[in-house]
Amino acid sequence: MTVLNGKGVLDGIAIGKIVFYQRKGQEAVKRHVENTEEELRRYQDAKEQEAADLKKLYEKALHEAGEKSAKIFEIHQMILEDIDFCDAITDTIKSERVNAEYAVKKACDTYIQTISAIDDPYLKERAADIRDISQKLIGILTNSESDTFTSEEPVIIAADDLTPSETVQLDKSKILAFITINGSVNSHTAILARSMNIPAVVAVGEELGLKYNGNNAIVDGASGRIYIAPDAETVRLFSERREAKKAEQEQLHSLKGKKSVTMDGKEINIYANIGRPEDVEAVLRNDAEGIGLFRSEFLYLGRETYPTEEEQFQAYRSVAENMQGKQVIIRTLDIGADKQADYFEMPKEANPAMGCRAIRICLTRQDIFKTQLRALYRASAFGNIAIMFPMIISVGEVRAIKQIIHAVQLELSGEGAAYNPETKLGIMVETPAAALISDELAKEVDFFSIGTNDLTQYTLAIDRQNPSLEHFYDAHHKAVLTLIRITAENAHKNGIFVGICGELGADLSLTETFLRMGIDELSVSAPCVLPLRKKVMETRMDR
C-alpha cells in the first residue's frame, strides 16, 4: 500500500479505481497568413462560440453546484471580452500576419508569464482562468474535439489539474472523487468540487503519476490522504467510516417536516438562499421553511438587454406559487462590484465595491427600478412575497424607495392590476453605517436581513474575494459580531424581525451565538438547511 499526501478540499471518503483524465492535444502551430481580415473573422467567430459555450457551462454549474460556482464562468466571460486580452490577439494577427490560434496562444503565454512572476495566489488563479479560456478558443479554431471522459462505473479521477470548464462538464454520477497533482484549496476547481459535494484532494505532487492508473484507491478528503492499493484492513476501516457518514446523512433526512426548535423551546426559521427559479426544487427537497434571499440578478446577467417587466413577473410568480404560501424574500437587483452587465453602460470605477451598485443604481435609474417593482408587486398577488433592498446606508434612501413604491402602486391600481398592498418591505444590513443607525432604519421597514459577506468585508476593509488576504480575513471578528448584535437588538426594540442571509448563517460554530442574540431567521444554501436544523435542535439556551 502506498500513501500519498495532499490538501483535502472536501470531507468525504471515496473507494474505487483511479482513472487519469487524458486530454487531446491542441496544436497552435504558427502559420503565416496573407488574409489577416479572414483570421480576425475566424477569431471573432470563435469568441462568439466560446461565449455561447460559457453560457451553457454557467447554466450547468448553476444547476449542479449553485450560484457561487456558476460565477466562475461569469469571470471567464469577462476575461474573454477583456479589452487588453482581445487587443493582444488582434494586434498579433495584424502586425505579425499569423493565424488566429497562434495569436491566442501567444497572448495567453505572455499573460501567464507576467502573472506567474508575481507571488500572489489571486493572480495565479486568474492565470488558470486565462489558460482555460485560451485552450477552449484554440480548440474551436483548430476544430479539435472537446476532451471527453467516459466510464462504465464511478471512478476516482486523477489529473495534473482540472480546469473549471473540464470539471463542470464531467458526469457527476461517474465521479467518486478528484485527485490532482497541482491546484490549491482556493482554486476555482476546488470551489466547484465542494459545491458539487465531491471529495477532492489537490496538490498531491509529482508522486501521483500515470503508473497508478487503474489501481484501486481510497481518497480521504478530510485528511488529504490517498491510499493506493490499500490492504483489506484499511479498506474495512474506511468502509465503516463511509457507512457512518451515510447513516449521519440519513439522520439528517429524518429531520424533514420538523420545526427548528432548541431543546428548551426557542424556535427559529431556517430559510434557503436561491439564485434562480429552478433552485426552488432544492429548497423544497431540503425542507427549508421559506426563501430568505432570492437574488434577482440572474434576470440581468448573461444577456444584452434589460429584462422586461413580463419576464421578471413570470420568474417571481413561479417561485411564489411553487413555495405554496411559504415566505419568499426577493432582493432587488444588486448589479455592480463583481456583477457587471455591459448594457448598463456603467462607467469604469477604480473601486467598484465602493461604487455605484445595488440600490444606488436603482435610485439614479428609476425607470429600471420601477420596472422591477411593478413585476414584484404584480407577483405579490400569487404568493407570500416580501421585497428587500440591498446596500442601504441611510433613512433617506428608504424614504425615497417608499415614494417610488407609492407611485408604482398608484399605476397598478389605475390599471386594475392585482397586487398585495401589504407586501412586507425590508433592507439588507451589510454596511457598518446601516448597522450603527439600525435603530432609525427599523422604524421605516418590516424586517432586516444581515448580509454578513459584505458586512464583514466593509467592516474589516478586506476584499473577501482576494485569497492572498485570507489570513487577515476573520469572519468571527469581534467588530462584525458586535454589529450583528446591535442590529438584532434594534430590530426587536422596534418590533421587527431580523435574519441573516450571508455565509455566516451556515457557520455551525456561531449558531448558538446567533440564537442568543435573538436572530429570528437564518437563510443558507439549500444543502445546509438540515445540518443547521440539527444543530439548532441539539442546542440549549437555558444554561
Q: Which residues are catalytic?
A: 188, 501
User: If residue 77 lies in a helix (H) or strand (E), which one and from where to where?
Assistant: helix 67-80
Rounded distance between C-alpha atoms, residue 487 and residue 481, angstroms: 10
3 state SS for 236-286: HHHHHHHHHHHHHHHHHHCCCCCCCECCCCCECEEEEEECCHHHHHHHHHC
CB 333 within 8 A of CB 300: yes
DSSP states along 63-126: HHH-HHHHHHHHHHHHHHT-HHHHHHHHHHHHHHTB-HHHHHHHHHHHHHHHHHTS--HHHHHH
Task: Work out the number of other CB atoms within 10 angstroms of the CB of residue 193.
Answer: 29
- β-pair partners for 3: 227
**Grid coordinates in use for 304?**
444584452
Rounded distance between C-alpha atoms, residue 19 and residue 2, angstroms: 17
CB 217 within 8 A of CB 225: no
Task: Work out the number of other CB atoms within 10 angstroms of the CB of residue 40.
Answer: 16
Rounded distance between C-alpha atoms, residue 169 and residue 163, angstroms: 10
- Picking from 468, 473, 438, the residue whose alpha carbon sits closest to that of residue 454 is 473
